[in-house]
Amino acid sequence: MYNLKRQLLAGPYLLWMAGFILLPVIMILYYAFTTTSGHFTLLNISSIFASIHLKSLFLSLKLALICTGVCLLLSYPLAMILNKMKEKSQGFIVFIFILPMWMNFMLRILAWKLLLSNNGVINTLLEALGLPALDILNTPSAVVFCMVYDFLPFMILPIYNAMARIEDDILEAASDLGAGAVTVFFKIIVPLTMPGVISGITMVFVPALTSFAISDLLGGGKVLLIGNVIEQAFMQEYNWNLGSGLSLVLMIFVIASMALMSAKGEEGGAGVW
């Protein structure tokens, strides 16, 4: 049954993981705890408490939370509506909603830049309607807009999948036992879609928290997220030790949020893939 020879097939993968996942993490750890001259230090880590770093960390957390919240609020009703559709059209409609996700990440940012810029499409439209212009490019709002756009499918899919897996029998049984629509929703649908919600939250929150490209391109240098601070430490200041230290802090936040989420949803079975 558990034949040893076949297990060896996983060998190349294990070696690859060791070389290109484990080793790089060790490198980050090494840089994070040393000075440029190679001496042990905790300053790279503790520099997160510098006010400018702390500010960007909080801003990152705030924007990531808002983005996750908006995605959840948009996705849940959407998943319910999609789930209720007739079998035939359902596949196609779900397809429509994941298609934009497959458009190149950079181009999606480009599109939003075009839409939001001062003489961009949205403002031209608003002007034509005699409405005041929407001046949000280079503000956190623009960044959140684009993040929601980028990560929305990661929320829709797991929730939709969890919802599609609820058998009609279960819902009928609940109403048979006297539950009205509201009770069915809160006692049956919400708990049963929880694994999907949790996996959606994780899949939106982590990239939103760690993103740097969106804020870089739509924030106009004014929206400094923790990702931007790290990127600049590496690519502009060439301070790899500081960058590694801050990366480590970011990693801790990522791991903590994932641990929190997986503790919340023991099941966690409803991934996107």
Partner 1 sequence: MSKRLIDLQHITKSYEGQTILDDLNLYIRENEFLTLLGPSGCGKTTTLRIIGGFETPDMGNVIFDGKNITSLAPNERQLNTVFQKYALFPHMSIAENIAFGLKIKKKSKAYIDDKIKYALKLVNLEGFEKRSVDSLSGGQQQRIAIARAIVNEPKVLLLDEPLGALDLKLRQDMQYELIRLKNELGITFIYVTHDQEEALTMSDTIVVMNQGYIQQIGTPEDIYNEPTNAFVADFIGESNIMDGIMIKDRLVNILDVNFPCVDEGFGNHVPVDVVIRPEDVELVDPESGMLEGDVTSLIFKGVHWEIEVLAHGFEWLVQTTQMHPVGSHVGIRVDPFNIQIMNKPESSDEKAVESDV
Partner 2 sequence: MVKKSTERVYLALIFLFLYLPILVLIVLSFNDSKTRVQWGGFTLKWYQKLFSSGPIMEAFFTTLLISLASAVISTLLGMLAALGIDAMKKRNQAIMIGATNIPLLNADIVTGLSMMLLFVRFTQLGLTTVLIAHITFNIPYVILNVLPKLKQSSRTAYEAALDLGATPLYAFFKIIWPQICPGVFSGFLMAMTMSLDDFSITYFTKGAGINTLSTMIYTEMRKGIRPEMYALSTILFLLALVLLLFMNFGPSAHKDKNRN
Q: Is the dihedral of CA 212, 73, 112, 125 positive or negative?
A: negative
CB of 142 to partner 1, least distance (A): 40
Using CB under 8 A as the binding rule, the residues of this chain from 96 to 115 that contact partner 2 are 96-100, 102-115
Residue from 217, 239, 264, 265 touching partner 2 (CB under 8 A): that is 217
Residue from 72, 98, 174, 272 touching partner 1 (CB under 8 A): that is 174
Told to check if 175 binds partner 1 by CB under 8 A, we report yes
Using CB under 8 A as the binding rule, the residues of this chain from 136 to 195 that contact partner 2 are 149, 152, 157, 161, 164
User: Looking at 26-34, 51-59, 62-70, 133-141, which segment touches partner 2 (CB under 8 A)?
Assistant: 26-34
Told to check if 130 binds partner 2 by CB under 8 A, we report no
Told to check if 164 binds partner 1 by CB under 8 A, we report no
Write the CB contacts of 225 (distance below 8 Å, at least 6 apart in sequence).
56, 59, 60, 63, 143, 211, 212, 215, 219
Separation of alpha carbons 23 and 222, rounded Å: 35
Told to check if 61 binds partner 2 by CB under 8 A, we report no
Told to check if 132 binds partner 1 by CB under 8 A, we report no
Residue from 37, 51, 119, 236 touching partner 2 (CB under 8 A): that is 119
Report the Cα–Cα distance between both ends of the chain, in Å, rounded: 28
Write the CB contacts of 78 (distance below 8 Å, at least 6 apart in sequence).
97, 156, 160
Q: What x/- string results for residues 185 through 204 when contact with partner 2 is judged by CB under 8 A?
A: -----------------xx-
Q: In Å, what is the CA distance from 66 to each residue of 22, 47, 124, 215, 240? A: 32, 26, 27, 15, 31
Q: At residue 256, what is the residue type?
A: A
User: Looking at 75-83, 138-146, 178-186, 235-243, which segment touches partner 1 (CB under 8 A)?
Assistant: 178-186
Using CB under 8 A as the binding rule, the residues of this chain from 235 to 254 that contact partner 2 are 240, 243-244, 247, 250-251, 254
Told to check if 40 binds partner 2 by CB under 8 A, we report no
Write the CB contacts of 149 (distance below 8 Å, at least 6 apart in sequence).
100, 108, 112
User: Looking at 17-25, 43-51, 136-144, 171-179, which segment touches partner 2 (CB under 8 A)?
Assistant: 17-25
User: Looking at 93-101, 146-154, 175-183, 247-255, which segment touches partner 1 (CB under 8 A)?
Assistant: 175-183
Q: Is the dihedral of CA 125, 127, 129, 132 positive or negative?
A: positive
Burial 194-219 (b: 16+ CB within 10 A, else e): bbbbbbbbbbbbbbbbbbbebbbbbb
- Plot region of 74 (φ>0 → left; ψ -120 to 50 → alpha; else → beta): alpha
Question: Whose structure tokens read 């949790």?
Answer: 198
Q: Looking at beta carbons only, is 27 or 173 nearer to partner 1? A: 173
Residue from 183, 252, 255, 258 touching partner 1 (CB under 8 A): that is 183
Q: Looking at beta carbons only, is 24 or 42 nearer to partner 2? A: 24
